[in-house]
Structure 1
Amino acid sequence: MGDEDVDGKCKIMSACSSAKLFLFMVPLVVVSGFVFVNIGPKNPSSFLTSLSTNHLSPPLLPSSPSLPSASAPSPSPGTSSLSTKVETIQGDYNRTIKLNPVNISSTSSNVTSTASLKVMKKRVVSNLEKIEFALQKARLSIKTASMDDPVDDPDYVPLGPMYWNAKVFHRSYLEMEKNFKIFVYKEGEPPLFHDGPCKSIYSMEGNFIYEMETDTRFRTNNPDKAHVFYLPLSVVKMVRYVYERDSHDFSPIRKTVRDYIDLVGDKYPYWNRSIGADHFILSCHDWGPEASFSHPHLGQNSIRALCNANTSERFKPRKDVSIPEINLITGSLKGLVGGPSPSSRPILAFFAGGVHGPVRPVLLQHWEDKDNDIRVHKYLPKGTSYSDMMRNSKFCICPSGYEVASPRIVEALYSGCVPVLINSGYVPPFSDVLNWASFSVIVSVEDIPNLKTILTSISPRQYLRMYRRVLKVRRHFEVNSPAKRFDVFHMILHSIWVRRLNVRIREV
């Protein structure tokens, strides 16, 4: 029965019908409840949020437009008559919005007759409705975590100021482990699909693809049970095998991405069902953002897990996922994790690297070979070990290059060196969960001349706190094979899980 029928037929109710309505609505209200999710920072760019009750007009935040419904952006001919509607869950972690997926307005006088109730009971619940109901339950569970005692966990219990809300993150992570299912499209052949580099600066592409291909916990072979759908393409491989070097012609990559989405869109109903909103890609190549806009709905609607998480290049923190750039030269962490205690770190700050991008020239102009405490080099002195310099430094300077991401951030964490982030428009990895200001120093480009003053103003006591937090938080950036709980693979999955909680796909 549609809302129009209810509103048209049930404006005036008898006492009997009112009582029946009350008995019918109470369990629905109890089931739907009010969900107030609080997992992240206290600002409008938060992620785990609550959902509007109004199906027709989901609430919007001026700073972050919602995903379009089926009518916007203009769909391609193949998606002009969609049978679903996508809604974003808006709000921030402390400004809460009601969740009421059964769409019972608090001011409406809706009545359902006994005959209609029988019809409703006989109606078959779709797979999509089951999925959305399970996500609704997960949101409610995550909300209640902020009021519960910490959950015992044999592996790790998140605690401390490194997390915006440790208990809520932990509950969300456990809900992910319990519920989250991912369908990996089988279409496509290596090396462009189902393959990626594992021993380079782009190693996260290959490592993630490999883990997804071999995973048995989160991967499902039944797409009707999937919460999200993975498009297993590798932009790195496309640059190598499809792009003609120095041609400056990006069209072959665009065509490859577009053809793949058209293929899965024609073969399966899921892409068109959500206009791509429950699909995701992962790319660590600098051209990942550009490749994602090869198809308008992929760039606009889908979840994009990117190393190059630059807001000036259309990265949307509410929808997209920032992942760490990790340079695994040997393909493993052997010899990369660990370092001396703070008392054995005589160097205040260190950086060595090429001059490219807008930030590094400023850094070298002010600090290259000019201070014994701030060791900034374009090239390391002969016989000097880069990794030893990081291990002997209290702070490791991580400026942006051509792109905002840098493997130095993770290298610093691995070495027990407090990162100093200098960039513009960069969203650090997992910042929906992690409070980067608690274990790193964030410096604007304009403050580069004051770098030593900023670092020396940090008291020894505060530095020790930050150092200990670095040691605790680096587990979230470690690459393991097979993957381990709370490591980088699972943190990426959790970020995707959170973005899926941020949208609701409903049949219309």
Structure 2
Amino acid sequence: MDKHGSSEPHSEELEILGRQLLHEVDVYMKTHKTRTDGELIERVFSFLKVGSTLGGEVHVTHRVGDPYNTWDVEKLACNVGLHLKEKVEFRQSEDSGYHNKRGSGINAFVAAITYSSKGSSLFSLPSSSWAWTTSIGTSSSSFSISSFGINTSSPWRNPRTALYPTFASEKMNRAVSNLVKDLNTESVLRRGKERDEKLERTEAGLARARALIRDATIDQSSSSSRQDPDYIPRGDIYRNAFVFHRSYVLMEHLFKIFVYEEGDLPLFHNGPCKDIYSTEGIFLSLMETATHFRTRDPEEAHVYFLPFSVVMILEHLFDPIIRDKAVLGRVIGDYVHTISTKYPYWNRSLGADHFMLSCHDWGPRATWYVHELYFTSIRALCNANISEFFNPRKDASIPDINLRTGDTTGLIGGMPLSNRTVLAFFAGQLHGRIRPALFQHWKDKDEDIRVYEKVPEGVSYEEMMKKSKYCICPSGYEVATPRIVEAIYAECVPVLISQHYVIPFSDVLNWDAFSIQVSLSEIPNLKEILMGTPEDKYVRMHEGVKQVQRHFLVNDPPKRYDVFHMILHSIWLRRLNLQIYG
């Protein structure tokens, strides 16, 4: 920089530090005609971008006072092909690496901002996860949600990209490799083409939402954001109640979903609203009438819903004798081909801003036949099994709900604590990996731990849950089980026994506050674990179950914070965790 006002040359110092000076920008801030509207900083970004490599970084510092605090610097950087990677606030005296001598003195605050070029990908997920905790470091590289209770840095992680794992199966690895090639090819084809301004406006709106949610993790004193005529999330059942409320309200104000109208009944726009796959049918049904979130204009949508029902495809087209599961691939593959040919939105992101939902055990398998859907799209699944490559950084775990009559009549509520005379209860079939161990140690062996394959004659399953302190919820054929929601409805503290299961809404809910999680190896000690829980802790967990119940209730029409809205919020978080480049 040439010396003007407070700027001084530091070329030699930069060389000593191993930096390379790419450009010199001659500016005089006090008199520059564009300093008040931020145009100058955009021009600086434009200079800096020239000659930088893909994945390279641009470091900019500026004071936080007027007029700099009025500039939307993140958006200005985005306009010239850079995205915000890091933003920190510090004093010059506290950072020996800061070398710009400013006339305003060594104690002035500055914002140090790191921008990076977009690289060759059409979209990105952050390389690191950001948990919703009360205190968060300001040096987090980007906004990111993570599923809690699981290790998102799993051994399947592929270092080449944040999206895809590395598989033991060579077939799976070839699929990943081909998809990465498709991404790179599509990115190369788009270079030099006119930017998608509508998409960039959508991304700018999401960037503002991310910033507001980030602010909520740091400043929880704003009373305006806590004013709500209906419900204010509070208490230990949330990982961060304040941040969840901020995110939820933003979703209500901003989130728009385009539902593709292609596809005929009964395979599309329709699903079972009774029995074990109720979640799938209820969501499909409510999305058809969700006027608040649904948009008829695909240009203003944040996500695009593929309204097929895995349950209905299998019910109507699957031959139980031939057992050809590829029927799923034919129906879903044809559907994706139809919408990707008719509309530009799937190809624009290779499906990254599209989502599907399924509660069938074969829901994950159904997406495999279209590799972009499997690896790239948002999958809302009951069968959220990370050992089967459920990816919590882009996929959402949703609750398995079994409504035998199609509604919750008679299911909600239970006995007061003083009348809960059974320590723990389970009744269900013997299948899967977990239940054999449970039956071996506890079936018909203890008066306090009641484990049955079928409840005794004259005994009601629902009444047993309502008078038990704990309800045992072991996985069955797959990791998900409707008994978790049944327990919450009956105000019975769930005892979760599973492997590799991402619990529903666990990026928002603190399951440790209202449930007990037991590993397979701890099943022999189940009674000791439950009896050893202090009474005051149990009372708190029971109150937590009653409080969290609203998030699992099915309502028609939907009510705020119910299960329909919680599923939408999970999709909203995954979309916030994604940036698509126009």
Listed as ranges, the matches of 1:92-107 within 5 Å are none
**Structure 1, unaligned stretches of length 5 or more?**
1-7, 53-59, 87-122
Pairing of 1:255-334 with structure 2 (within 5 A): 255-334=330-409
Structure 2 SS opposite 1:82: helix
State the AA in 2 paired with 1:128: L
Q: Does 1:339 align with 2:421?
A: no
Poorly superposed stretches of 4+, deviation over 3 Å: 15-23, 30-39, 41-44, 60-65, 75-81, 83-86
Alignment match, 1:168: 243
Distance 1:197 1:177, change over 3 A: same
CA distance in 2, matches of 1:236, 1:124: 40
In structure 1, the residue matched to 2:425 is 350
Structure 2 contact 413–490 (Cα < 8 Å) conserved: yes
The reply to whether residue 253 of structure 1 matches residue 325 of structure 2 is no
Deviation at 1:38?
Answer: 6.2
Per the TM alignment, residue 148 of structure 1 is displaced from its structure 2 partner at its CA by 2.6
Question: CA separation in 2, counterparts of 1:30 and 1:480?
Answer: 40
* Alignment partners' CA distance in 2, 1:369 and 1:245: 35
Offset of residue 343 of structure 1: 0.8
Q: Which residue of 2 aligns with 1:500?
A: 575
Selected match of 1:129 from 192, 196, 200? 200
Distance in 1, Cα, partners of 2:141 & 2:431: 38
Matched letter for residue 422 of structure 1: I
Total equivalences in the alignment: 452
Name the SS of the counterpart of 2:399 in structure 1: coil
Q: How far is 1:35 from its partner? A: 6.9
Give the secondary-structure state (helix, strand or coil) at the position aligned to 1:376: strand
| Cα separation, 2, equivalents of 1:453 and 1:272 | 55
1:396 paired residue number: 471
Equivalents in 1 of 2:538, 2:556: separation in Å?
32
Alpha-carbon shift at residue 225 of structure 1 (Å):
0.4
The alpha carbon displacement at 1:67 in A equals 2.5
Distance, in Å, in 2 between the alignment partners of 1:373 and 1:49 is 50
Q: CA deviation at 1:308?
A: 0.6
* 2:220 match: 148
Alignment partner, residue 29 of structure 1: 73
Secondary structure of the structure 2 residue equivalent to 1:343: helix
Hey, what's the Cα distance between the residues in 1 that align with 2:331 and 2:480?
25
Distance 1:443 1:505 in 2: 40
Q: Residues 506 and 61 from structure 1, CA distance in 2 versus in 1: closer, same or farther, beyond 3 angstroms?
A: farther
- Counterpart of 1:89 in structure 2 is none
Shift of 1:463: 0.4
Q: 1:257 to 1:471 in 2, by over 3 A?
A: same
Is 2:424–2:448's contact at 8 Å kept on the other side of the alignment?
A: yes
Work out which of the residue numbers 194, 215, 222 in structure 1 matches 2:290. Answer: 215
> Are the counterparts in 2 of residues 85 and 505 from structure 1 also a CA contact under 8 Å?
no
Q: CA 1:232–1:258 in 2, change beyond 3 Å: closer, same or farther? A: same
Does 2:186 match 1:82? yes
Aligned-pair identity (%): 50
CA spacing shift, 1:84–1:177, aligned 2, 3 Å: farther
Alpha-carbon displacement from aligned partner over 1:66-103 (angstroms, at most 9, x marks no partner): 137xx9743599988535999xxxxxxxxxxxxxxxxx
**Distance (Å, rounded) in 1 between the aligned partners of 2:379 and 2:241:** 25
Q: Please name the residue that 1:120 is paired with.
A: none
Please give the TM-score of this superposition, normalised by the length of structure 1: 0.83
Query: Which SS does the other structure have where 2:517 is aligned?
Result: strand
Task: Report the TM-score when normalising by structure 2.
Answer: 0.73
Query: CA shift at 1:334, angstroms?
Result: 1.1
Cα distance in 2 between the residues matched to 1:252 and 1:142: 42
The 5 Å alignment of 1:356-395 reads 356-395=431-470
CA distance in 2, matches of 1:482, 1:449: 44
Q: Which blocks of at least 5 consecutive residues in structure 2 are unaligned?
A: 1-19, 42-67, 77-83, 89-128, 145-151, 165-174
Distance 1:225 1:9 in 2: 41
Deviations 1:377-398 (A, max 9, x none): 1121111100010011000000
Match of 1:204 in 2: 279
Q: 1:480 to 1:157 in 2, by over 3 A?
A: same
Alpha-carbon distance, 1:250 to partner: 1.1
Q: 1:128 to 1:430 in 2, by over 3 A?
A: same
Match in the other structure for 2:256:
181
Are 1:434 and 2:446 counterparts? no
Per the alignment, residue 24 of structure 2 pairs with 12
Measured in 2, the distance between the counterparts of 1:42 and 1:309 equals 26
- The DSSP-based 3-state class of the residue aligned with 1:362 is helix
Distance between the aligned counterparts of 1:76 and 1:441, measured in 2?
41
Deviation of 1:200 after TM superposition, in Å, equals 1.5
Does 2:481 align with 1:469?
A: no
Shift of 1:236: 0.2
Deviations 1:118-141 (A, max 9, x none): xxxxx9871100000000000111
* Superposition map of 1:104-115 within 5 A: none
* Partner Cα distance (2:450, 2:524) in 1: 14
SS in 1 for 2:245: helix
Q: Which amino acid aligns with 1:50?
A: S
**What is the distance in 2 between the residues matched to 1:49 and 1:320?**
21
Conserved in 1, the CA contact under 8 Å of 2:435 and 2:475?
yes
Counterpart in the other structure of 1:67? 163
Relative contact order, higher structure (CA 8 A, sep 6+): 1
How many Å separate the matches in 1 of 2:454 and 2:87? 54
1:479 partner SS: coil
- 8 Å Cα contact 1:39/1:433 also seen in 2: no
1:139 aligned onto 2:210: yes
Displacement after TM superposition at 1:279 (Å) = 0.3
Q: What does residue range 473-484 of structure 1 map to in structure 2 within 5 Å?
A: 473-484=548-559
Counterpart of 2:233?
158
Q: Check whether the contact 1:284–1:325 (CA below 8 A) recurs between aligned residues.
A: yes
Q: Go from structure 1 to structure 2 and tell me whether the alpha carbon gap of 1:450 and 1:266 turns closer, same or farther (over 3 Å shift).
A: same
How far apart are residue 268 of structure 1 and its match? 0.6
